[in-house]
Amino acid sequence: MNEVRDILATMDYGPAPEGDGDVRAWLEARKGGIGHFIAGAFTKPGKSTFAVHNPANGETLADVALGSQGDVDAAVAAATTAMKKWQALSCNERARHLYAIARHVQKHARFLAVLETLDNGKTIRETRDIDIPLVVRHFYHHAGWAELRDSAFPGYEAAGVCGQIIPWNFPLLMLAWKVAPALAAGCTVVLKSAEHTPLTAIAFAEICAEAGLPAGVFNLVNGDGSTGAALAAHDGIAKLAFTGSTEVGRVLRRQTAGSGKKLSLELGGKSPFIVFDNADLDAAVEGVVDAIWFNQGEVCCAGSRAIVQEGIADRFHDRLRARMEKLRVGDPLDKAMDMGAVVAPVQIEQISAKVRAGVEEGGRMWQPSWAESFSTGDGCFFPPTLFTHVSPASTLAQEEVFGPVLASMTFRTPGEAVEIANNSRYGLAASIWSQNLDEAFDTARKVKSGVVWINATNLFDAMAGFGGYKESGYGREGGREGMLEYLAPVWRAKAKPLPAAVPIAAPLPVPGSAPVGIDRTVKMYIGGKQARPDSGYSYPVAGKSGKHLAEVGLGNRKDIRNAVEAAHKASGWSGMSGHARAQVLYFLAENLELRADEIAARLAEAGASAAAARTEVAASVRRIMFYAAWADKYDGAVRAPAARMLSLALNEPWDVMGISCPDEAPLLAFVSLVMPAIALGNRVVVTPSPVKPLAACDLYQVLDTSDVPGGVVNIVTGDRDTLADTMAKHDDIAALWYFGTADGAAAAERESAGNLKAVWTDGGKARDWSDPVQGEGEEFLFRATRIKTIWTPFGV
């Protein structure tokens, strides 16, 4: 028998096994195979199944049905049928269902924690104390949003039937992140579970039935990548939400292009963990444990890049190595374990390959002394690993390992730390450690990540949005912003298709078009100056009855490149206060009104009646003033997810945006798209209506005389779809708004897959630009920003 005094002397851990008898009995009762959950009942497993294994010892836990196209069709049909009744419920009635799910998950919390540990390999401490409580939190939180939907989101309705694809690293938590807001918004769901870890999703389906959720509101199809592809491609899906690899995210972006589906992607990461020389080093070391060895490093936002100030790097690494010696890796059902098993043998192979590459590229690998004698048996275990002397351009610093491997680099100045942190195609999360909060917040604002933790790491809550920048995807989960992902403007349901676009005329001579007086060829507007097109070509613009009005530059790829460079040089605009930007916009409205008659005449030449032209100019002036008013008021939120913890939701600009304008309302649509973007700090590269560009081109002098800095608005004339194709592919354009034909919208979405920029289109649907509901408002402001969530503890 152990003596307490002996334990206090040695500090040795004894075994602390978690009982798994109830879960084993549940699995035994389903030994014959588990089917899909469709229309409120489980299907028979059928002949096509796959085995689910315990990664800690390799044992087979269950056989689960492999979803086919027919299974996906049946699930979507059930969700579609259930949608009408689910929508007919009041907000309070839907809220009661989410509340019931939360209560029933809470009642089965220990069962779900053990099942998740057996299925995934993560420690019982994590599933019991982190995953399952957060699942409960999300359903409680979104029960509140269900109650408030109509009052909090006026003018919005449920997006429709949702297809959701979740990963294997947080199986039940990722389910909650997606299912809870979808149901709260009034959507119905078809979920595809992860192939490695479907069991808690199956248990959740049983809980939905137990809690009385109407049949067909939640449907579950299990399977592999082919099952997910069938779901993503299904015509009955209105919204697709995916969490997984960046490579699959690209495939889904191409697959859904032009389909009209709303798409949110939460993808890979290579998150920086920045340690300044004034940081509490012991706290930072514990932060590393939570950042990269939590869940065996199988976390998309894992702090896998340590960026440490030179003066403390050796001390920091020494303390980190000492801490690594004490980490315990083993049976995930043992409550004294720090790390459990990696999910599958294939993942061990991938981690090992990245580690070998790190050694070959000159990194210095260190593992605890016990790693050499560590016996994994039949399980998938990998020891905590530290690399120092890592180059910022190396494989370990650039590629996601998705395992317990930390790559450490050093920096000298705060500016260098930010440069190294941003030297990544990813931008999911970051962690900053400093006792100087001025330094910490300044760095947090400069780091290009969707989530930033200050003196903390891997904190999550249902009220705080989560999502990435750059190739870490777009869209948010959690908070008010997460709800908007599952809602759509009511008016869109009845929107009609746009008429076929009129092609621009060929850049050829037009006989008999010589003007009276001095000839005018309209140039482009780049960097605050009028610029000739790189191609040397101009194309004719015709007005009423085909009358030749002028020639404008035919823009090409190099013109877009020049405009993007000019926009990046105008970064000071993003750093101005909202108040300062508002004053510029008010001045712009004033100067446009002074030239109202002249610009109205230009619109009349293009085909509008004199009255309609005057009305459009007046509406454009009002719209500029509308966004001037919003410039210092669309300001995010402060949230308190826990005691002594603040979560700041900051609306940050995309920086450089591309905008393709429609032919309808050529001035008003131009203003309606450009003004919200620049009001919130973006710089834009905009292509006006190809066939009616002159009113927008008349704004050059208005911009010049209104204190709009050069490069904030760059105007490139030419063929809308050709230029949109270039903007979609351009890596230095962070977001693209395309308003034109359905084919053009599909092409813009498809061509953006390479860099995974956010693309907003109307899918070729008509929008009434004079209508305040359709032509202005929160939808434009929301799309003109990306939300950065900054977490900071206080009073501790």
Using DSSP bridges, classify how beta strands 60-65 and 156-158 pair: parallel, antiparallel or unpaired: unpaired
Reported residue count of the chain is 796
Tokens of 754: 């390479």
Give the count of alpha carbons within 13 A of 59, CB side only: 8
Hunting for tokens 């008349």 — which residue is that? 698
206 CB-contact burial (10 Å; exposed 0-12 / middle 13-18 / buried 19+) = middle
Give the contacts of 471 (CB within 8 A, at least 6 positions apart). 246, 267, 268, 425, 426, 427, 755, 756
Please tell me the distance from the alpha carbon of residue 297 to that of residue 254, in angstroms, as a whole number.
29
728 within 8 A of 747, measured Cβ to Cβ: yes
Radius of gyration of the chain (CA): 28
151 CB-contact burial (10 Å; exposed 0-12 / middle 13-18 / buried 19+) = exposed
Please tell me the distance from the alpha carbon of residue 732 to that of residue 657, in angstroms, as a whole number.
9
Give the contacts of 498 (CB within 8 A, at least 6 positions apart). 662, 664, 740, 741, 742, 764, 765, 766
Give the contacts of 372 (CB within 8 A, at least 6 positions apart). none
213 within 8 A of 82, measured Cβ to Cβ: no
649 CB-contact burial (10 Å; exposed 0-12 / middle 13-18 / buried 19+) = buried
Give the contacts of 771 (CB within 8 A, at least 6 positions apart). none
Please name which of 367, 388, 423, 382 lies closest in space to residue 306, comparing C-alpha atoms.
388
Q: At what angle do helices 310-326 and 281-292 cross, to 10 degrees?
A: 60
Q: Could you tell me which residues are beta bridge partners of residue 366?
A: 386
191 within 8 A of 175, measured Cβ to Cβ: yes
Region for residue 32 given its phi and psi (left: phi exceeds 0; alpha: psi -120 to 50; beta: otherwise) = alpha
Tokens of 416: 């260098």
Please name which of 141, 336, 262, 290 lies closest in space to residue 779, comparing C-alpha atoms.
262
Tokens of 21: 């008898």
Please name which of 459, 450, 791 lies closest in space to residue 638, comparing C-alpha atoms.
791
Known catalytic residues are 266, 300
9 CB-contact burial (10 Å; exposed 0-12 / middle 13-18 / buried 19+) = exposed
Using DSSP bridges, classify how beta strands 161-165 and 188-192 pair: parallel, antiparallel or unpaired: parallel
